[in-house]
Amino acid sequence: MSSITEVPVAVVGAGPYGLSVAAHLKGRGVPLRVLGVPMESWRARMPAGMFLKSTPRASSISDPADRYGLHDFRAATGLPWAGDRYVVPLDEFVRYGEWFQRACVPEVERAAVLRIERVPGGGYRLALDTGEAFAARVVVLASGFPPYARMPARLQPLVEAGLASHTSDHADLAKFAGRRVAVIGAGQSALESATLLYEAGADPVLVARTDRLLFGDPPDSERPGDRPWPVRLAKPASPLGPGWSFAAFARAPGAFRHLPDETRARLVRTILGPSGGWWLRRRLEGRFPVLTGHEVASTAQADGGARLTLRAAAPPGDTTVVEADHVLAATGYHVDVGRLGFLAPDLRGAVAKRNGGAPRLSAGFESSLPGIYFTGLSAADTFGPLMRFVCGTGFAARRIGRSIAAS
């Protein structure tokens, strides 16, 4: 392998987690290469017109000097200060991420990693879509959520027929204008996608297993410190929301990894479970049909579209048939290292996994493969729900930076 160049660290991914890790490693003087298109998934796999569910205070990408948060971006670009009641538009967050990248990680290389494999004697070889290959002693995988999109098995025949897709496949829902679309799910993605479809002139119907839709409560002040002290004591503020349980997950993610496997899986699944942002309720209710308490029992193609047979939870056994031109699955993500096609098969098989395929990580985010680190959503099973949100970049980047610098 002496014919190819070698660097100490390669960061794969240029979204919030990849950029944050790169910024912290640079702050420690660690030489590295960063690969990916800045904010690509946010731009190409999130629907236009979307808003962030997190508050501005919880939507900053971490840098070692704490000088490039969302509020700093707004100040630098002439925008006013925004409190907790301000809902951050997707396009503003993408612009912020690109501003962060230009300021903190200008050396990002717009290249895709096609293959990662072992190098005899230690380290890893990365092959890029540019035709280049190089070696790295350490690889940080910050490739985000796209590989983990969950598609229910019952919808797979419709996917193969081009009649169903995952929400992460679409950045522009306006193309469904004038068409009937069945949206499956009860979380923010489902509720917002159905609303955006309606506002774009489509004819959506929302299908949810839950017996009722849930929405968050609006912040009771613009700043956490403005809340009365008895309220602050009963429900302390945290990036995940007010409350002692949220505060615990936000303040002590390092302790989460010591919980039993089953407990971690349940908490990641249920903490901040399916619900819509407080600001979404008024745009959704009364606008289009919502079938709660229903799940997809079977599917079929019919008249050039899709026919869904839904089973009702109550009364048991009742069925409803929904016909649509397209089915949109807002069914979330399931972390499974086996779905990372750019990892050589022997590497995918060698990573120690828990809870259906999630990598089991050390306190420094290193996997069982020496020198292979995972961050972002891939790390949620180990460190908890904080890793599902931008506000987790600080904890992850500091831990990874310390671990790599020490090695």
Look up the pTM and report it.
0.94
1/209: higher pLDDT: 209
Give the CB-side neighbour count of residue 242, counting CA atoms within 13 A. 19
Q: What's the confidence (pLDDT) of residue 238?
A: 84
CA-to-CA distance for 199 and 205, rounded, in angstroms? 13
Q: Please check whether residue 207 is in contact with residue 297, taking contact to mean a CB–CB distance below 8 angstroms.
A: no
- Measured over the CA atoms of residue 52, residue 212, residue 158 and residue 345, the dihedral's sign is positive
The residues, any chain, with a CB within 8 Å of residue 29's CB and separated by 6 or more, are none
| CATH class held by domain 153-215+275-329 | alpha beta
pLDDT band at 3 (very low <50, low <70, confident <90, very high): low
pLDDT in tens, 102-115: 999 999 999 999 99
Q: What's the confidence (pLDDT) of residue 2?
A: 46
pLDDT in tens, 315-373: 877 899 999 999 999 999 999 999 999 999 999 999 999 999 999 999 999 999 999 99
pLDDT in tens, 301-313: 998 999 999 999 8
Report domain extents, the chain.
6-148+333-406, 153-215+275-329
125/231: higher pLDDT: 125
Q: Is the fold of 6-148+333-406 the same as that of 153-215+275-329?
A: yes
CATH of 6-148+333-406, one of 3.40.50.300, 1.10.10.10, 3.50.50.60, 2.60.40.1930: 3.50.50.60
Question: If residue 256 lies in a helix (H) or strand (E), which one and from where to where?
Answer: helix 253-256
pLDDT in tens, 168-199: 999 999 999 999 999 999 999 999 999 999 99
For residues 42, 128, 357, 390, the Cα torsion angle rounded to the nearest 10 degrees is: -30
Compute CA distances 332 → 93, 223, 338, 375, 380, whole Å. 21, 31, 17, 18, 14
Task: Count, in order, helices (H) and strands (E) of the chain.
Answer: 14, 16
In 3-state terms, what secondary structure has residue 310?
strand
pLDDT in tens, 4-60: 899 999 999 999 999 999 999 999 999 999 999 999 999 999 999 999 999 999 999
CA-to-CA distance for 176 and 165, rounded, in angstroms? 12
- Which of 5-9, 11-15, 150-154, 273-277 is predicted with the least confidence, judged by mean pLDDT? 273-277
